[in-house]
Every structure is written in C-alpha cells, then in structure tokens.
Amino acid sequence: MTALVQLIISVILFFVLFFGIAFILNMLLKSTWIMTFFYPFVVFAIVDKISTADYILKPRYAVSQLWRGLTHLLPADIIMLSAGLIGAIAAGIVIKNLRKSGYTMF
C-alpha cells in the first residue's frame, strides 16, 4: 500500500517538476519544445549512474552502462519518468496556447 502511495506522489512530483522547469526554459529561451528535446538526456543522466565525461573518455563503457540502466528499469520507474515527459510536453502546449492567446511575455 505504501508503495502505491509513493508511486502516486512521485508521479505528481515528476510531472510538476518537469512542467515547471520546461515552462521556465520556454519562457526564458522563447523556444516552445526545448525541454521536450532535452528530456531524454535528463533520463540518461538519471539512469546511467556514471560521469558524463565517461561518454567522451570511455564511450563503449558509457553506452553499455546506459543500455544496462535502461533495460533494468522497473515499471514504477518507467511510469515516473513518463510523467516527467508528459509534464514537459504539457508545458510546451501551455506556452503555445498562451502565445496564441496574445501573451507576448511567453
């Protein structure tokens, strides 16, 4: 029961966190879908658990660690990470609608 409650709270937190980050990036950089494009790199940083420099210094090792991390994700992890992607997409839609409505600040 507590695992289900933790999953629900985590999904909400990931959605709100990435919605907020994407909204601020979209507002500052005037690029509607920027966080949606960068989201896979955020997921890679969460999943691979290695230094980013290893992608340059030891690319074969880094890609194998990334692949291992992606294939060993649990369903709860996939649900949480999907909620973050949905949050980033929702921020893009909100910004696009705000711009269409005439809000030039966004």
Q: How far apart are CA 86 and CA 74, in angstroms?
A: 18
Q: What does the pLDDT read at residue 29?
A: 87
Per the model's pLDDT, the better-predicted residue between 8 and 46 turns out to be 8
- For 85, the 3-state DSSP assignment is helix
Looking at residues 5-31, what average pLDDT do you find?
A: 93
DSSP secondary structure of 16-82: HHHHHHHHHHHHHH--TTHHHHHHHHHHHHHHH-S-TTHHHHSHHHHHHHHHHHHHT--HHHHHHHH
Q: Which 8-state DSSP code applies to residue 101?
A: T
Asked whether residue 30 carries a pLDDT value surpassing 80, the answer given is: yes
- Per-residue pLDDT band for 106 (boundaries 50, 70, 90) equals low
